[in-house]
């Protein structure tokens, strides 16, 4: 296990390639302060150097809260300049979550509000405990989501629903989040990490170049028109088709054995 001041990182002992990042400020409902953002930046920088990594589980300590957004106690009394400097750090941390090369699975163990919901939205897959609630309540305190909420939410669910949730700022129960397609699955809290690990183990068995290529194709393709998106897909396809791992995958299939991926 690797520890920072506000987060921990652990490698799964059963399946190679799975790491779990845990937000660890339960006494503050895992709210995001400057130190946590700096720790996230350092952690994701470290993770990019881990050659065996295939999938990251992103969760939080305790049973009550995933993350309730920015630590408003820390922000009390900040000047506009200090607020802006802090937000620059927040933006960098969230960009590292969104742009991480391998799949990131959010295992939401409780309230995911404001910046906490934006963390969840920054991940590729989202599993949520049945007691959890999510929401973007920024409108209630005179601001709007500032690390992706107004852009990621309407890319995840119908625009009308996204606008309703943003305009009202209300908390959304887990089952409603599942109903509108905001999360992949809802499970009892006691099964949350097991479910995330189940999905992660299926993912970790697959070719690393393919995992990265799929993420690039989907994320970049969503930002453009269909013809351009198909060109993006084809470019990623040939990166995989021309790789040594593609040859290994074919041989392993014909020899009825597990492939030995090299990531090249």
Contact 249, 262 (CB under 8 A): no
Residue 255 appears among annotated catalytic residues: no
CA dihedral 89, 63, 154, 126 (to 10 degrees): 100
Q: How far apart are CA 171 and CA 136, in angstroms?
A: 8
- Among the listed residues 138, 164, 179, 255, the single catalytic one is 138
Task: For residues 187 and 171, give the distance between their C-alpha atoms in angstroms, rounded to a whole number.
Answer: 18
| DSSP-derived 3-state class of residue 4 | coil
Report d(CA 106, CA 22) in Å as an integer. Answer: 10
In the set 118, 164, 175, 244, the catalytic residue is 118
Query: Catalytic site residue 118?
Result: yes
* Sign of the CA dihedral running 105, 107, 111, 116: negative
Distances (CA, A) of 248 to 28, 209, 233: 48, 12, 22
Which residues participate in catalysis according to the annotation? 118, 138
């Amino acid at each position: 296990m690797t520890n920072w001041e506000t987060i921990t990182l652990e490698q799964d002992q059963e399946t190679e390639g799975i790491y779990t990042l845990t937000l660890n400020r339960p006494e503050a409902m895992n709210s995001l302060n400057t130190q946590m953002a700096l720790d996230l930046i350092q952690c994701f920088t470290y993770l990019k150097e881990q050659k065996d990594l295939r999938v990251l589980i992103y969760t939080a300590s305790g049973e009550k809260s995933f993350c309730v957004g920015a630590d408003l106690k820390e922000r009390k009394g900040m000047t506009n300049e200090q607020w802006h400097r802090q937000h620059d750090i927040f933006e960098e941390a969230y960009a590292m979550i969104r742009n991480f090369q391998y799949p990131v699975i959010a295992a939401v163990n409780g309230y995911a509000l404001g910046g906490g919901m934006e963390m969840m939205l920054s991940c590729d897959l989202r599993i949520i405990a049945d007691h959890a609630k999510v929401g973007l309540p920024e409108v209630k305190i005179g601001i709007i989501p500032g690390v992706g909420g107004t852009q990621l939410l309407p890319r995840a669910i119908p625009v009308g629903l996204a606008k309703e949730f943003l305009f009202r700022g209300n908390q959304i129960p887990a089952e409603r989040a599942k109903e509108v397609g905001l999360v992949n699955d809802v499970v009892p809290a006691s099964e949350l990490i097991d479910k995330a690990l189940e999905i992660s183990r299926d993912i970790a068995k697959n070719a690393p170049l393919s995992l990265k290529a799929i993420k690039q194709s989907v994320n970049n393709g969503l930002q453009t028109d269909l013809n351009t998106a198909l060109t993006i897909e084809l470019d990623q396809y040939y990166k995989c088709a021309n790789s040594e791992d593609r040859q290994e995958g074919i041989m392993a299939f014909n020899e009825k054995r597990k492939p030995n991926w090299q990531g090249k």
